[in-house]
Structures are given as C-alpha cells and as structure tokens.
Structure 1
Amino acid sequence: MSLGERKAAELVIINGTLPETAGSVNVAVAGGAVLAVGGQDVLALVGPGTRVIDAEGGALLPGINDAHLHFIASAMTRFGYLDVGASAASSWQEVAGILAAVAPGRDGWIRAHGWDEVVLGPGGAEVLLELRPDTPVVVFDQTGHQLLANRTALEAAGIGRAPAAPAGGVIGRTASGEPSGLFVDAAMEMITAALPPVPREDLRSAALKFQRLLHAQGITSLTEPGLGPGGKSLLGGACTTDALEVLGAMALDGDLTVRINTLLLFAGTGGISADMVGNGLASGLQHLYTQQGIDPRLLRIAGVKVFADGTPRSGTAWMTEPYGEQCSHGSMVVAGSTDAGRTAELNEIVRLVHAAGLQAGIHATGDAATEAAVDAIIAAQATDGRRGRHYIIHGAFSSNDSLHRLAAHDVGYSTNPAIRAAAGDLIRRLLGPERYDRHQPLNSALKAGVKLNIASDSPVTDTDWRRTVAAAVTRATVHSPGRPDDPERITSLQALQAMTSLPAWQDHAEAFKGQLAPGMAADICVLDGAWPAADIDELAERQVAWTIAAGSVVHEPGWVSAGLDRT
C-alpha cells in the first residue's frame, strides 16, 4: 500500500532530524504505532483531524527505555519520604537537624533517604542513634543497601544488645559490641520488618507524580527491578506486593502511560534462598497481570530479581582478589554458610526461575559473583536449551573472556555509568587503579557481542538519561575528566542505542519498540535541538520538548511537570 492509499495519520511530526542521518525527516503516527518515516511523502498522511507538531530541527529519538529504574522506590523517595541527600545536607549535623525538625508520618515513623558517606564521611550512626527518642527513625542510604536506625526504632523492632547478623547481612557495632544503628543488606530486614505498610493511596499519588516527571524527560519505558514480598526491606518499605497491585490498578484505570517490565522480589538485598523463590513462584504472583487482562506491552511481570552479592562500598561485593579497607574478598549474600554452599544455592535459584519461564536479573557487583551468576545462567539454560535472556545487573569482569561467555549464551548486561561518574573516586580507592579501569567495560562488551544496556538505577542516581549517556561516552567522574584514550568509551550513538533498542531486547520487545520505524510503537522523544554528534557535552543543553507514548502526547512544551519540585 502506498502512502497515498493509507488512512490519515492521527499525529505527524515534521521538520525533525535523526541522530544517525543528515537532513529533515517527518514521522506519521496512528493507532499507537508509527505509520511512516520519511520526507515530503509523509505529508500525504496529514488529514483534517491530524495533529501536526513542528520539531523545528530537533532530534527525533525512540522513547527512552531505562532498563534499571526503581520506579516505586524513586517515586516515594522523591514524593513520599524525607530527603537527606547531598542536595539537602552536607554534614551529619545537618542530617540530624532535618530529622529533628520534621513531624512523624501518619504511621508514627520518620522515613528518610539519601545519605551518602562519599559526601558526608563516616560517623552517621553515632550522630543518629540517640536522636528523636520520641519517634522511631529509619534513614536509607543512597544505594538502598544500608540503613541507619535510631534507638527508638531498634526498640520497636525488638532488637536487643547482642543480635546475631543474618546470612548475607552486616550489623554495625559500637565499641562495646552493641548495635550502632547501622544495618547492611540482609540485616536491614531486622528493622524494616517493624515498618508499618505504606498506604496504597500514598504509593499511587507518588507514582503518578513521578510518571509525569519521567515523561518530561522523554522516558516511555522502564524496568522496575524488584517488587514483591521481599521488597519491604528495600528503600523505606514501599517495594511490596501492594506496589505491584497499585501498578495493576493504574493500568486498568488507564492512568499508567509508561511501559513497565517488573522483576519480582522474594527476598531483600541479602539472604535469598531457593526455598524463598520456590515458595514465591508457587504462589502464582507472576501471573498477577495476565490474570487481570492487562496488556503485557504496557505492564508485565518479566522475571525475578536475585541479589548475588552486595556492594563494594559496604564490603559485601564478592571479588576474586581482596579489596577495600578490610582487604577482604567479601562474599555472596545468598543463603549458605560457605562459598560452595552459596554457589549451589544460586544455581538452584536460577534454575527455578528459568524453569518457570521467567527472566533472572542477577545483581552482581564483584567479579567472583558475576562469574558465579553467569555459571548459574549457563547451567539453567542447558537444562532445556532455551535462551531465557537472563542478565547481569551492574557486573564486574576480570577479563574479556567473561564477556565472550555472556555473548555466546545470550546473557544480557545492564550497568550504570552515572554511578561510576558519581562515585568513581571511591570505587578507585576500594578496587585499585587496575580494576577500576576495567570497571564497566562498555566498549569491550559491545565488541564481544553482548546485549548491553545502560540505566540510571534511580534513586541511586538521577533519572536524567542525558547524564547516563554522557557518562558512558566520556567515562568522567565528578572529580576528574575522562581519559581520551580510555578503551571503554563508547560513542554517543552506541550509548543512545543502549537506552533504546538494546533494552528492548532485554524486555523481549525488540519486535515492537525501541526503533523509529513503520509498525513500531509510537514511543518518541523529541529534543529541542539536533543530536550533538561532535560534542557530547552539548547534550546537557538539549531539553525534551515533546514525549509521545503509544501515540499520545504525554509531555509538550509549556507543560509544568509535577516532578520538577518535591511538592
């Protein structure tokens, strides 16, 4: 069928540009899909009822897909919890002042988020332990892998003077051996178990506000990496089964306009076991949205999040060589008392996820944990020969041999350049210069044929995808410019693909989204200027003018996003 024979478009974007080609381009949209991409011939699809948008030379991009964005946690940390991040406090005394002045929430607790020892230095536990004896206080760090609790919260959680740390967790101690108020990974559940549930109306309100912010940034798809029974220990207790149900209700009510792939969370950031995963899958929770008749192209449960280890900064990453101030190897945070036992447990967990037809997204920040995760995926896929598109989250690789293994077995890799940019100096200090130089081997991964995507990991870093792209291209940190000869730099077009077409592969959705082509979903991000092919620093000057999601305008010039402030 020629363009002249097609029905009129509902929307036509004119005078746009594409990052990869020269010249002006027009795009026609109808029925939520792209009808045509071309030149003057596309204008034949303009009818009496067609809305025409003039891009004025701005770049037309596929809608941005953030493949690792904690949607609910980010919504609550921005619109539900007290902010004690770097923008709010530059010292522990300032953090204490903010906590001392605020009124408790409706549930009688104070929940806060955002402290970072890179900014504040050590000493937070000493400052906060005796603060607010009238109110339980829990404050999550920027990564979500540590929390600080005051003494009133310890009492509310029933924690005595000499508690044992659970498998996969760490409890900070005072000089006398009592809990200092610091809880890491699996130990966080000792506190969060006492947190009252976040009201569903609060979850929904924050989610709607945050969705508007994402659309104002050109984001039309994301992976929510962890909601479910184990989510109470994650970032303030919001990432629960209640949150899954709130998202389902938003979809059924027509209020959900960002596409979301969700990973189930059957345990927190430590202590996951095969029994937990087996019991979780036996509950049938993975069928929640299909049973409700929700379009899987909008909202689907894709798989299960598995924390294989923790983070280098908390000493819970599992490395083949010693690292950090303690000069230890760390360990996996999977259930088990030995490395061999934890490895066997991880293998069984991944086997269960694979056998259920689901995707395993495995958090691994140490090279030993990454190798164990890849081994587990290969073994699971060998049971039936099916490639499950399981993937490594964050990742660390001792050599390119590991990357070739990922490519050979269709194992994906999702990582976060903006975290490296923000915490690069700390990472270099913990890992040493040689391992730091190999940290996030983006170019090597692409050369090896790995399905790589880059993502924000919000709320750990900002959802502004321009920062993630720039960090991947420059490999700079906040304190030092990137080296021009850094072999792991990638081009701006490669970075853009890693936030559009490549995460669509992770979503099992490359057949309908991630590219600006006829028949693909009309998810489009329109910038107010051309793509900065020569100087990536210019990307920071580009603003998102329009965002189209499933053919509908969800952001346009002049719209005020509720996400631009915290009210």
Structure 2
Amino acid sequence: MTTGINRRRFLGQAAGVAACAAAVPMLSAGPASAQAHGGGRGPADLIIYNGRVQVMDRHLRTAEAVAIRGGVVIGVGRERDVRRLAGRRTESVNAEGGTVLPGINDSHLHLGGYGLDFPPFTIEANFETIQEIVDSVAAAVAVATAPDSWIRGQGWNENRLPHPPTKADLDPVSGNHPVILRDFSGHMMSANSHALRIAGITRDTPAPPGGIIGKDADGEPNGVLRESAQGLVTPHVPPYTAEETAGAIDAAIRLCHAQGITSITDPGITLQQLAMYGGKYGAGTLPLRITALIMGGRHPDQVREMLDSYDPLRGVDPRMLRVAGMKISVDGVPTAAQTAWLHEPYLDGSNATPVTQGDTIEEQVANLHKMIRLAHDAGMQVGTHSTGDAGIDAVVAGYLAAMRANRRIRDPRHYIIHGDLTPPGTLRTMARHGIGVNMNATIKYVLGRTLDPHLGPERTDYQWPYRTALDSGVKVTSASDAPVTSPSLLQGVQSAVTRAGQFGGVAGAAERITVKEALVSYTRTGAWQDHAERWKGTLEPGMAGDVCIVGGDMLDTDPSSLVELPITGTVLGGKVVYDGKATPAIAPAAVTRRNTRGAARLNRGACCHNHT
C-alpha cells in the first residue's frame, strides 16, 4: 500500500510554467469572496494538480486542480486553467490521482486529552481479557522508579470484557502504586484499593449526582466508578506539568495533520487550557484552527463562575483560535455503563438520571435549562453532551426556551453533542429552529452491535441516526471524539456509509448515508457549526487554503475499504504541514514519566480520555 507521495514529487517548483493569466474560467466564488482574508495579488503560492478535487460546495462540484495564494483559494477548475496561475516561485503538489478535499474539520476532538492518552503518559488498557489489562499494569509497576507513583491507563471496553477491571484484579500486581484505568469512552474508571483509600472512598461514601460507585457482594467499593463518581478520585491524581501538556498538544497536532485535519472543535476546555493555547498562538506554535467551548460545569452557579472568570483572548486571529461558547452535559453514554438518560429503560429495567445537580429529576432539568439560558444570554453557542432520548429532549426544550426568551441572540447554532438516540420528531424540531447535531461514526464502528443486550436491536440500529437526521433537514457534523476513537476521516466515512462494527455485524443499515454526504459532515457542515461557512469548509475561490489529500479516489473505492487508503498530504493556509510520511511519534521522545510507562500502543483503533 502506498504510504505517501514521493517527497520530491510532492512539493516542487513550478518552474517554467507560464506566469499568472488575467482571466481563467473558475468555479464562482459566490459570497465567500467578500469574506476572504489574504489572497493578495500575483501568482499562486501553491498549486495542487492531478487530483479528483471535491470542492464540497452546495452543488458538490468537482475539479482537477486548485490554486492557493496568501492562504486563500484563488482558483479551482481544469488543470490547464489553474496552471496559468503559476509563477516561477509557485510550489506544486502532484495529488497523483488522489482525492483532494477541503481541510478536515473534526468538530469534537479533545486535543489535550488526545496527546496525553498515549505512552509515555498513559499505559494501554484496550485488551480483550482482564489478564492482559493486569499484565499491562504489572509491566508499568515493574519500570516505575518511584515506589508510590500513580499508574494511569485507559482504553478498556466493557462491551468486549466479561466485566470491568476491579480492585480485586488490580491489587495483586499494583504494589503500593495507586492505579486508575479509564474506559475507552471516558465515562467509567477502574481504581485499585490504594487509589480508593487516597480518595477516601468507603462503603459509606455517597455517590455524587449522576455518579455510581460500584460495589461488591459485601457492599464494599469494587473500584468501578461511573460518570461523576470518577471525580472523587481525579482531584487526587498529580497533574501533568505545563511542559508535558504543551508537548502532548504539539504531538496531537502532528497526529491531526497526519489525518488531514486542519480544524477542530475542542469542547469543554478549562481557562488554563485556553491560556496555554493563547500562549502557543502568540509563540507561533499553534498550526491548527481551534474553535473552543469552555466548560460549563453541572450547576448554574458553576456557569456563572465560568462566565465571570472568562476573559476573551486579545490579539488572536479568530480564524486560528476562537472561543465559540460553552459545553454542558446532561447524561452519560448508552453503552454497558448504561448512564444515558432514556425515555424507556434499558433491557434490565434500569435507567439513568441527569448528571446536572439537583435533588430530583425536575430540579436537575430546571438547573439544566438555567445553565443553557445563562450561556445563551452571554452570547455563547451551547454544545450539550446528550446521548439518551430523554436527555436530548430536555436539552432541545432548554434551547428553545432560551432562544424564545432572548431573541436578540440571533442564529446561536446551539447543538447536540453525540445525539445517539435523538427521536425523529425531535430532529424535525431541531431542523426548524437551526439546532445542529454532532455525531460520531467512528464510535459507531467501535460499538457495532455490542449494545444489543442493553438497548435491544431496534435502538442499537437507530443509534446515531445519520439518515433520519439529514432527511429531516438537520445540520449534521461528524467527529471522532478523540481520544475516544482515532480521528480518522476514512474510518468515519466508511462507518457512516456501511454501519459495520469493529467486532462484526451491521448496526442500522437504514441509517446509512453516502460518501459525499459523509464528506460534507466533515467539511462544509463543520464550518457551519463554527459560524465559519463564509470562509472555510469548501475549496471555492475566496475560501481558506486548507486541503486534505487522500491517496485514492474515495468515490470510486469500495466503501468497506476506504480505511485502507492513505492520507498523503495536508495543507493549512496554503502551507504543507504533512507530506505523507510516516505517522509522527505519539509524544516527544525527550519527555518521559517515571510512573506511566507501559506497553506501547501505536496504531490502536480507540483510546479514551477524561471527558464527556
């Protein structure tokens, strides 16, 4: 399989090509040209040719080549016409017949978590057996230099294990080390006895709202903590240093470039993370477009505190770093954890409740609506983590109430994050009121049919109803939720089109969409979610010169084989940031942690993080 375009052929001088011609037939720039930044005059800085260019405009037109100058697309069309925009110093990229797309917009990716959830920071726990997880912990303990350092890991998937890892599994090999292992979704954690003792968790410890403390047959904590119960332990875990975090972010950005990603939405960041991004932007070391949602917490008072503390960044290009709004959560996930809030209970008769604070469900929903209203009135876009149909309906009701109460905030584009089980009627309501949904085809691939024992076949098939949502007129974006899954465009498109699961079977053939529809969800609609559709998301003239090159014709490839195609190039603002070489190192080689070494986990299919 081709691993990338030959470097000399990938980036070369267009010497000898005629200088810029005056008038060349191009696709119409439309309204985007009025919003163009950069561009300037003179010949193109970069021309990408010999490609199957998917412009991704509303007509889904195709072309052969694209020219960029000053970070902006100045021409797209027939190769012979685009070549007339070249000058002596114009660089050129031979796409070698591959698919040329607008830069990929992963509209829900936890950048810091993605970089930190790999060795050397975190050990592997994504295995098929409990024994393999135990062996990974034992290996980390064996190389730890401090006798009481924390061992952190993630990736275990209850859907493929006989049971979650418990303290009974971890204690025999962990010595005096506190151990925490997060599951692949970030909604569950396993802790050993030492970690439970440090956190002060006993049989009498009450679970926080929306959280569950697992118990053994004797009523003692078994080490399994679900949802907000994880927060009993996490404050006691030593934080990573600023240097480690910054290095992990750098590595994560390189990994994004290797997947063709030029824009992300980083949801639920702290003000400290925002300050770090601002510092990196000021230092010229933030080569990724970041739209951020700051964390809103789980009570109206926490939203007020965040709004009072938030100080907008100054002197920052909003096309590179922008706070769009606030993230809120209403429930968990409809996996084996069974923490999504449903209208009809799980097959075992249980159900979850909202994770917002309150003594009753009515009070929790009222607090949710107050949180939404506070953020809306502050002019912030609200993205709310909601997976169960009951939770989604509560969130949409809150959005509608806030928009009706304060119509001065026009076109807020509030949206549902995940939206696993959004009812058809709710989708129609969302479409009428401009409420979007951010779905996760790559997580659908990881889960497949494994939710049948919890949701039943009908709800498992419906989970992530791409087809129903698009047919209802809802703006649907796609995202990896990395590090829950790899931020792979190709896996995401393949999964949205085939609905095939990692462990076999097809879950929801009726919800399949086309390759082009999936690509729109990763490009143009992602720009819409960012309020940026006038300057990015397509390859029309006047739009951002962000490009992803795939080594093959995505529209002519068997959809079940899309993931086998390589990403051969990534361009950000007219500059090549990835040339198809091997995937970069997960983390800087110079950075090591005495307490987190363990089994290597390069090229894994899914990973996890400490978010919702």
Q: By the TM > 0.5 criterion, same fold? A: yes
Matched, 1:60 2:100: yes
Mapped partners of 1:158, 1:22: distance in 2: 60
Mapped partners of 1:426, 1:281: distance in 2: 40
Mapped partners of 1:358, 1:174: distance in 2: 44
Matched, 1:31 2:82: no
Mapped partners of 2:453, 2:310: distance in 1: 44
Mapped partners of 2:207, 2:583: distance in 1: 47
Matched, 1:412 2:412: no
Matched, 1:213 2:237: no
> What is the match of residue 47 of structure 1?
87
Of 150, 158, 183, which aligns to 1:141? 183
Of 319, 323, 333, which aligns to 1:297? 319
Of 462, 473, 485, which aligns to 2:486? 462
Q: CA 1:36–1:541 in structure 2 vs 1: closer, same or farther (change >3 Å)?
A: same
Mapped partners of 1:517, 1:76: distance in 2: 36
Mapped partners of 2:557, 2:134: distance in 1: 46
Amino acid in the other structure paired with 1:361 = G
Matched, 1:334 2:356: yes
Q: CA 1:544–1:136 in structure 2 vs 1: closer, same or farther (change >3 Å)?
A: same
Identity %: 38
Structure 2 unmatched ranges of 5 or more: 1-20, 25-39, 588-599, 603-612
Q: CA 1:38–1:131 in structure 2 vs 1: closer, same or farther (change >3 Å)?
A: same
Matched, 1:445 2:483: no
Mapped partners of 1:319, 1:374: distance in 2: 15
Matched, 1:308 2:330: yes
- Within 5 Å, give how 1:459-538 maps onto structure 2: 459-482=483-506, 486-533=509-556, 535-538=558-561
Of 117, 139, 161, which aligns to 2:158? 117
Q: Deviations over 1:334-392 (max 9, x none)?
A: 11121211111110000011011111111111100000000000111112222311110
Q: CA 1:494–1:310 in structure 2 vs 1: closer, same or farther (change >3 Å)?
A: same
Q: 3-state DSSP class of the match of 2:451?
A: helix
Query: Structure 2 length normalisation: TM-score?
Result: 0.84
Matched, 1:69 2:109: yes
> What is the match of residue 231 of structure 1?
none
> What is the match of residue 195 of structure 1?
237
Amino acid in the other structure paired with 1:544 = I
Mapped partners of 2:228, 2:264: distance in 1: 26
Q: 3-state DSSP class of the match of 1:124?
A: coil
- Within 5 Å, give how 1:54-453 maps onto structure 2: 54-86=94-126, 89-102=127-140, 103-104=143-144, 108-125=149-166, 126-129=168-171, 131-228=173-270, 241-267=271-297, 272-285=298-311, 287=312, 290-291=313-314, 293-312=315-334, 313-325=336-348, 327-385=349-407, 386-397=410-421, 399-453=423-477
Decide whether the 8 Å contact of 1:146 with 1:182 is kept in 2: yes
Amino acid in the other structure paired with 1:193 = P
Q: 3-state DSSP class of the match of 1:547?
A: strand
Q: 3-state DSSP class of the match of 2:323?
A: strand
Q: Deviations over 1:480-533 (max 9, x none)?
A: 4438x9321110000000000001111111111100111100000112222234
Mapped partners of 1:439, 1:151: distance in 2: 36
* Residue 167 of structure 1, CA deviation: 0.9
Decide whether the 8 Å contact of 1:12 with 1:46 is kept in 2: yes
Mapped partners of 2:332, 2:61: distance in 1: 45
Mapped partners of 2:99, 2:309: distance in 1: 46
Mapped partners of 1:533, 1:105: distance in 2: 53
Amino acid in the other structure paired with 2:111 = F
Q: Deviations over 1:151-192 (max 9, x none)?
A: 111222233342111111110112222221111111111100
* Residue 407 of structure 1, CA deviation: 0.5
Higher RCO (CA < 8 A, seq sep 6+): 2
Q: CA 1:131–1:273 in structure 2 vs 1: closer, same or farther (change >3 Å)?
A: farther
Q: 3-state DSSP class of the match of 1:223?
A: strand
* Residue 22 of structure 1, CA deviation: 8.8
Q: CA 1:557–1:3 in structure 2 vs 1: closer, same or farther (change >3 Å)?
A: farther
Mapped partners of 1:169, 1:560: distance in 2: 38
Query: Structure 1 length normalisation: TM-score?
Result: 0.91
Which moves more between the two structures, 47-56 or 120-129?
A: 120-129
Q: CA 1:210–1:495 in structure 2 vs 1: closer, same or farther (change >3 Å)?
A: same
Q: Aligned-pair RMSD on alpha carbons?
A: 2.2
> What is the match of residue 28 of structure 2?
none
Q: Deviations over 1:72-130 (max 9, x none)?
A: 111100244333233xx332122122212214488921111111112222051130245
Mapped partners of 2:509, 2:568: distance in 1: 33
Q: 3-state DSSP class of the match of 2:182?
A: strand
Amino acid in the other structure paired with 1:371 = D
